[in-house]
Amino acid sequence: MTVLSALAPRADFPLLAANPSLHYLDSAATSQKPRAVLDALVGFYETSNANPHRGAYALSAAATDAFHNARVTVARFLGVADSDCLIYTRGTTESVNLVAATWGATNVRVGDEIVVTALEHHANFVTWQQLAKRTGATLRIVELTAHQEIDLDQLRDVVGPRTKLVAITHVSNAVGAITPLDTVVEIVRAQSNAVLFVDGAQGAPHLPVAFDTMGADFYAFSGHKMLGPMGIGGLIGKRALLEAMPPFLFGGDMIEWVYDFDSTWNVLPHKFEAGTPNAADAVGLAAGVRYLEALDMTAVRAHEVALLEAAEARLRDLTACTVYGPPPSRRSGVISFSLDDVHPHDLATILDQHGVCVRAGHHCAQPLMRRLGVSSTARASFYVYSEQSDVDALCSALVSAQTMFAAA
């Protein structure tokens, strides 16, 4: 058996380097950061720190350039030629809320339908659920196949002339299922005039993303899941839609003229970036993106598939272990599973004792958990720094847990 080494050396990641016996299998929750990202973040504060856009002095120009170049870097990585259409937000959750509060508020009304799926993370479910309640629109929920993939036949049945919005995940954070976006786009375009919103929180870190050719109207992502710092992410949208949407937050930078009783708005992207931007974290995220570009996203994907195949084979070998989601070729680096005799909470505690970090809970997907008939599962997730020893540690810890809890 070939030993799978990490794609990105652990030595590049200070936290992992300092904790050699740690097996961090919760990258779906947040990724560890390479030194390059930390250096870029601190470097901004040490060399280029000023408020972008506002000053007439050289340091402010440097900050403005750093901030702008970061945006261009991330836009290029995600296949967006028009970088003004990449709006910085705090992350995917804020991106969803931005669209619901602006596009949603002005376009959705009684009689309209909003389509989501049973796979969605609460951010891409609750937000639209509440928009439907507020506006009197009808929420339609597309159900799942036996492998917890979105039932595309049902999607075909549900999407129609009344559909105003389809909100769908690129990759499920709970079970890792990858949505075939090209098929979804085909269905939505053929059968409706709906806007297509894609939750890319787990997509952008793990798969090549090319927004301009994807065919979606919006794509949201989170920097901290793709080697970047917390507190920064983005919303990519088609220019015509973004220009027609009213602002989300009001204040400095997003205005053009402020009269006493009315104001006019700045152009993209500034219209949606009120207040002092999170320039430092944007610069940090760009460094994370450059790190991923150097690895090449095709190699990232191949690495994860190899780890998944190794892990899944051993998990399926365990008795009394249920693995959720589709086979490795149709899933991203996330495996949710449950052991018959061990509650996920107990499992996570025992794994912690073996230095294995997994997530136990509902993974912000209570609608999905209900459909699985469980209240929680355990979830292990791989990323660029994961390697064979992580798979081995996970599996032997699981065997220990089973032994400890074996029925007397």
Radius of gyration of the chain (CA): 22
- Can you say how many angstroms the Cα of residue 357 is from the centroid of all Cα atoms in its chain? 19
User: From CA 162, how far away is CA 227, in angstroms rounded?
Assistant: 40
Least separation in angstroms between residue 214's CB and another protein is 34
Nearer to another protein, 220 or 364 (CB): 364
User: From CA 8, how far away is CA 386, in angstroms rounded?
Assistant: 8
User: From CA 334, how far away is CA 178, in angstroms rounded?
Assistant: 10
Nearer to another protein, 264 or 403 (CB): 403
Q: What are phi and psi for residue 323, nearest 5 degrees?
A: -105, 130
Q: How many CA atoms lie within 13 A of 3 on its CB side?
A: 4
Which residues in this chain contact another protein in the complex, by CB under 8 A?
Answer: 19, 21-22, 343-346, 348-350, 352-353, 355, 357, 360-362, 366, 369, 374-376, 404-405, 407-408
Q: What one-letter code names the amino acid at 320?
A: A
User: From CA 267, how far away is CA 254, in angstroms rounded?
Assistant: 8
Least separation in angstroms between residue 199's CB and another protein is 21
Least separation in angstroms between residue 18's CB and another protein is 10
Least separation in angstroms between residue 349's CB and another protein is 6
Q: Which of 85, 357, 364, 395 is catalytic?
A: 364
Nearer to another protein, 210 or 406 (CB): 406
Residue with tokens 């090449």: 296
Q: Beta strand pairing status for 195-199 and 163-169?
A: parallel
**CB under 8 A, 24+ apart: contacts of 247-254:** 247/102, 247/271, 247/272, 247/274, 248/98, 248/101, 248/102, 248/272, 248/274, 249/274, 249/275, 250/274, 251/275, 252/276, 253/53, 253/277
Least separation in angstroms between residue 361's CB and another protein is 5
Nearer to another protein, 325 or 344 (CB): 344
Nearer to another protein, 301 or 354 (CB): 354
Nearer to another protein, 16 or 285 (CB): 16
Sheet with 321-324: strands ordered across? 321-324, 334-339, 377-381, 359-361
Alpha helix positions (H), 33-180: 35-47, 58-77, 92-99, 105-107, 123-135, 152-158
Nearer to another protein, 190 or 408 (CB): 408
| Neighbour tally for 233: CB within 10 Å | 29
Least separation in angstroms between residue 322's CB and another protein is 16
Residue 231, sorted as left (phi over 0), alpha (psi -120 to 50) or beta, turns out to be left
Omega before 269 within 30 of 0, i.e. cis = yes
Sheet with 218-222: strands ordered across? 86-89, 233-237, 218-222, 195-199, 163-169, 113-117, 138-142
Helix, strand or coil, per DSSP, at residue 361: strand
- Active site includes 85? no
Nearer to another protein, 6 or 196 (CB): 6
User: What single string gives the DSSP state of each residue in 368-403?
Assistant: HHHHHT-S-EEEEE--TT--HHHHHHHHHHHHHHHH
Residues assigned a catalytic role? 364
